[in-house]
Amino acid sequence: ALFSTLLSESNEKSTTTSSETPTLIQLFHTKSITYDENAKLQSHAVLSYQALEVSSPEVESKLFGQRRRANQVINPNLGVWNCCVMREKLVDSLLMIPDTVQHYCMTIDLSDPSMVEPAVSVLHDSLVRLLVGQVSANSGSNGIATRTTSLAKLKTTQFGLAPQEKQPSSLTHKEEDDNIKISLLICAFVAPTNKDDYKETQAQNLIFYHLRRYAAALNCALCFVGKTAIAEEVPILPIEQVSYCWREWILNNHNANGLNQFITPDNHQPDVIESVLLRNAQCAGEWNATEDSLWKALPPLSSGDSNEKDLKRDGQAGDGDWLSQLRDSVGSEQTMPTSRTTASAASPA
């Protein structure tokens, strides 16, 4: 009943919102960019919708949070679907968002470097599953110029793979996958590090390197969200300006204030990534960024889905069993191999 009601409401909103208002789909694993207090996901929910009234960056900075907390959105001009992606594939079967919405944002929390690779892999695999089976993702005219990431690139790109490590043979694609294209933006929450801790600093540099490398391989947009500057090569976008930049990015307004903090498609500078950033990502005695993939250099400190750990911290230890039962009732789906799946064990997508 909970999900049927949610999907019914979602479909009613989508008939008007998605076609008339710039709209994007935000995929996240543990942390989202949510301005509308009413859109924060609670308990078992996996999907919510934000109707935002976005102003200029200057106005957004002054009114950050106030108008939305007061629920005073009068003229929404940006729609955001919040999609909580878990290791269970439940979300893929329940999402009923029209395929006319082809702007996606992967929101990634960098506070724990060891959990970045598992989180990105979950989001990546889920995005592939959402696109597989679509006859065409090119319907509609809004934002066609920004559709630079194809399903073929998604199927053949593996986040965290070291430059000298062999690409798994299971990462293959079909010829028609080149014709399915979306606009993809990666928003990474940057957490300050202890500059006196060499390993911690280098772990952050290693994450930056792999995010830049990943975005370049997919030819998508990338931005780092935070409060303070980290390094010259890491432009920081204040969180209060993200909604404005989302809207301008969808509308393809490249000269809008704030978009200069984006690393845009076709401007990734792969030569800089594989020289300067790769050297900065080394950590003598700990890992070799050229040879050690991210899951080897920064293995997760604990096993299990980080979503499940968060639920248990909130006193909802029974959610995992509930979700497993519901997932089983939905049925199995074909999945992309995760980053830790060996080529011999993985099956082609």
pLDDT computed for residue 2 by the predictor: 44
The single-letter DSSP state of residue 87 is S
How far apart are alpha carbons 318 and 230 in whole angstroms?
A: 39
Contacts of 16 (CB under 8 A, 6+ apart): none
What are the counts of helices (DSSP H) followed by strands (DSSP E) for the chain? 13, 8
Write down the residue that tokens 């390094």 correspond to: 231
Whole-number Å distance between alpha carbons of 319 and 329: 15
- The model's pTM is 0.77
**Between residues 137 and 154, which one has the greater pLDDT?**
154
pLDDT at residue 90 above 70?
no
pLDDT digits (tens, 9 = 90+) for 195-250: 788 999 999 999 999 999 999 999 999 999 988 777 666 788 888 889 988 998 89
Select, from the ranges 53-57, 80-84, 189-193, the one with the highest average predicted confidence (pLDDT): 80-84
How far is 137 from 243, CA to CA, in rounded Å?
24
**Amino acid 40: pLDDT:** 73
What pLDDT sits at residue 234?
Answer: 76
Neighbours of 66 (CB within 10 A): 9
